[in-house]
Chain A
């Protein structure tokens, strides 16, 4: 069974969002005849609807391609796709750790972007051989030579032989395969050793249980053997091993060192097959796990409630199902006076939050209300203890607090120089601390700021995009917790605190935000039979106030003859509208009012 490991190439494709990663992957599949042309739907690797729509890859996937190279030899190419967003950096790093090389795609019109660099650094951290590819040469604005020069300058990669391709039309894509064969080294792999296989992804399948995607670093694994997860200690009897093909799973007898493949073992939850963990065998176990495993902690939390209380069970089932496939999603039951029964959910970042929310609404047909996202604050109490607060409801009494800390990120924004002023204004406004600014080329600047995480979790990226007409890109990583001056704002309607609207904010921003929220609520709460005071308070001190005047007029002056049916329908519509309202004490608040407060975009 001695396979020729010299002919194995394990590689990833890395790129900034929209630089054409999935399209190139599709072309590689076609060129290696891994999938018949007629079966190709565009972007085959992104098989979740949402991914295809958003054009981003959320979960990593892998596929094995057989390629007959120009030298006449057959090569086994293992393409490990990586998620393309900062929220999933850890997953990216595990996928990269499973490879010896990476294809780095750069858009021939846009050049280097934030995630181009972020991913390049990640790849270099893993000692990967980089294969630069300049894509989208079919675009009218394409300038491959300028971009090649930029890559040589900024990254220091020789681009003289870098393929200039159009993944869309297929032009020159063949060269990419040749470069992979020539430049990416084969794995250094020893079959005769205790098994160590790196889990770079796992997905739940209704029939097989969890399918664990691994890169075998050393040793071999067969069906029937007992395997063990080194981080969790869980043991399983291997049911099946095999390769991922573009068209489905292909069982094999044995997975050996250097190969990429899958394992099934009747594993019930992805939590038992965590990304980054090392698989070994119970008999002849490895002494040491592969480096780099880390428990992923959610960074952003929010309350998720069914709009209709009757959907609570359905929401719980849906979260349970999503969690089967997403070890980084956390949830626990939470009760809100305002919203009833729901869940406190934890996410890797805002995109992750949005994806989950959208999947719940779309795939599970749930109508949701979510509360303001919060980061995890560390509150140091006078008694010397530290509490971690991700829910404003649990914010301790002010009198007990010695001081508070909030997470701060290292953020890099890449943009044409024209927008530097606008970007710096935005960062300054978001309590950013300027670190430095580097011209990576004459029309590309890297602006480095320290930004508090709570300033970027709701709308930072949207605002950045709009202020730079979409030209800026953005990347961040959490750097540390830092002492900060925080307060909790409460929203009171008709004198009652609406717990779901409370949030934690920096003292300097409290006043402006409070006013804005009060205004927004006033605009969005319809007049009711009595006057409704809206108050925003810190503790017992009201810092902003608005009033929704009592409703005086809501009448059909003219009602006869013909349109009785129509008038009745009008009233029924009004009745329907009321159903979408939430009753808080005596006040009815439409869902839109919540949304308006949550999405306080700037004007």
Chain B
């Protein structure tokens, strides 16, 4: 089954580190966008697609409003086959949620919330220009649960300005107190062109070694509390993985709707341009390349804790691992960056930290 992604390119304000396609909308842009999404869904309806995950990402979908999201879901159900057990996630910002929103989402069938917290330490959040208060996060989680959405993921960031192991512990403790099901813990990457990248001198960043230590520390603390790592940056209680995101890493197909949204459908990768006006005018997506190559598959599967298995690889590509790959994997295993039992290659935590290096070596073979 495939996944459906809906991009909501609106935010109340831009965060300093973010390079996703989003902007602060004026009055009627949200409504005109809703119409554009609805007609885009309509266009795809003839393909008879069925989905078992739906994901509203952004931007800030919560800022788009529960009614509009409900309308998109309704249209999707009319035009596609959405499985009754589908995991339907909406990304939320604590600063743009209220009781009404969760009520609307819940009754529209949304059953999972992903919320950006990044840090529970106010100074650290402010450095990322996130202005909601810690208490608002607590309230948001509580409201979601009260309205029947109990599958909740919280984003945590590592390597942000001012962060130390102590302050990270504070964030982790706060996170545990929320009693949630899923955590995404990303190491901050300073993206070119973001306000943060032009302002790096204004802050003290933890050095690379500290960030690595924080990452390892986070893995171990999360696992103590029953959050198992299933991907480089993702952790969940058993059975609460993000099924939508797993499709990306398992090299499965998905349709993405909205400016800057990418798709992998019928073996092809394509995307809608990150241009609001051209999306409104119904411009067709741009072809990117054939998807699902060996390289892609290796790259994505090795991000997962379950790793890359010989069996799956053979099934997909009708061939075994190359001797070069196997000898590299053995070499990485000896150095403690990987485990390889002859059947499955899995990166260790240290291995995840240098996964670009390892993966680029492996796909060379």
Contacts and interface: CB of A to CB of B under 8 A. Distances in A.
Interface stretch (A239-247, A301-309, A465-473, A556-564): A556-564
A552 B353 contact: yes
Interface stretch (A213-221, A421-429, A571-579): A571-579
Given A529-B354, A578-B364, A571 B359 contact: yes
Given A557-B186, A565-B288, A575 B262 contact: no
A38 interface: no
B245 interface: yes
B363 A564 contact: no
Contacts of B291: 564-565
B296 interface: yes
* Most B-side CB within 10 Å, residue of A551, A558, A571, A575: A571
B186 A529 contact: no
Contacts of B360: 571-572, 574-575, 578
B221 interface: no
Nearest to B331: A529
Contact of A529 (B232, B233, B261, B335): B335
A575 B360 CA distance: 6
Given A564-B296, A565-B262, A557 B233 contact: yes
B262 A564 contact: yes
A562 B262 contact: yes
Contacts of A563: 262
Given A554-B354, A554-B357, A567-B299, A560 B189 contact: no
Contacts of A570: 356
A571 B356 contact: yes
A562 B233 contact: no
A568 interface: yes
Interface in B197-216: 208-209, 211-212
A3 interface: no
A174 B209 CA distance: 74
Nearest to A569: B289
Contact of B57 (A551, A552, A561, A575): A561
Contacts of A558: 186, 189, 233
Interface residues of B, number: 44
A126 B133 CA distance: 90
A559 B296 contact: no
B353 A555 contact: yes
A189 B355 CA distance: 81
* Most B-side CB within 10 Å, residue of A553, A561, A571, A572: A561
A554 B260 CA distance: 26
Interface string B255-286: 01000111010000101000000000000000
Contact of A559 (B209, B211, B248): B248
Nearest to A552: B212
Given A560-B245, A561-B261, A552 B209 contact: yes
Nearest to A551: B354
Contact of B269 (A552, A556, A564): A564
Contacts of B299: 567-568, 571
A570 B357 CA distance: 11
A373 B339 CA distance: 47
Nearest to A576: B360
A556 B187 CA distance: 9
Contacts of A571: 295, 299, 356, 359-360, 363
Given A552-B209, A565-B262, A568-B295, A560 B354 contact: no
Contact of B357 (A551, A564, A567): A551
B189 A529 contact: no
Given A562-B260, A564-B248, A571-B363, A552 B208 contact: yes
B10 interface: no
A565 B289 contact: yes
A554 B353 contact: yes
Contacts of A552: 208-209, 212, 353-354
B80 interface: no
B197 to A, nearest CB: 16
Interface in B325-363: 335, 337, 352-357, 359-361, 363
Contacts of B271: 562
Given A564-B296, A564-B300, A578-B364, A555 B232 contact: yes
Nearest to A526: B357
Contacts of B209: 552
Interface string A570-595: 11101100100000000000000000
B296 A575 contact: no
A560 B271 CA distance: 14
Given A574-B360, A578-B364, A553 B186 contact: no
* Most A-side CB within 10 Å, residue of B233, B337, B357: B357
A145 to B, nearest CB: 56
A557 B299 CA distance: 13
Contact of A574 (B208, B233, B248, B356): B356
B257 to A, nearest CB: 12
A374 B232 CA distance: 51
Nearest to A571: B360
Contacts of A567: 299
Nearest to B272: A562
A560 B248 contact: yes
Contacts of B353: 552-555
Contact of B337 (A529, A553, A556, A565): A529
Interface in A517-566: 529-530, 551-565
B249 interface: yes
Interface in B83-127: none
A532 to B, nearest CB: 14
B235 interface: no
Contact of A555 (B245, B295, B296, B355): B355
B231 to A, nearest CB: 9
Contacts of B269: 564-565
Contact of A556 (B57, B245, B260, B356): B356
Contacts of A553: 187, 208, 211-212, 353-354
B56 interface: no
B187 to A, nearest CB: 4
B354 A561 contact: no
Contacts of B187: 553, 555, 557
A560 B20 CA distance: 12
B356 A554 contact: yes
A570 B363 CA distance: 13
Contacts of B352: 555
A529 B332 CA distance: 10
B357 to A, nearest CB: 5
A562 B364 CA distance: 24
Contacts of B357: 529, 551, 554, 574
A552 B187 CA distance: 13
* Most B-side CB within 10 Å, residue of A559, A560, A572, A574: A560
Contacts of B303: 559
Nearest to A530: B335
Nearest to A558: B186
10 contacts: A529-B335, A529-B357, A556-B356, A559-B248, A559-B300, A559-B303, A561-B57, A561-B245, A565-B288, A571-B295
Given A561-B254, A561-B262, A575-B363, 17 more contacts: A529-B337, A529-B354, A529-B357, A552-B209, A554-B354, A554-B355, A555-B354, A555-B355, A556-B189, A556-B355, A557-B188, A560-B248, A561-B261, A562-B271, A564-B248, A565-B289, A571-B299
Interface of B: 5, 57, 186-189, 208-209, 211-212, 232-233, 245, 248-249, 254, 256, 260-262, 264, 269, 271, 288-289, 291, 295-296, 299-300, 303, 335, 337, 352-357, 359-361, 363-364
Interface of A: 529-530, 551-565, 567-568, 570-572, 574-575, 578
Q: Closest 9 CB pairs between A and B? A: A562-B262, A557-B187, A574-B360, A560-B248, A554-B356, A557-B186, A552-B212, A571-B360, A554-B354
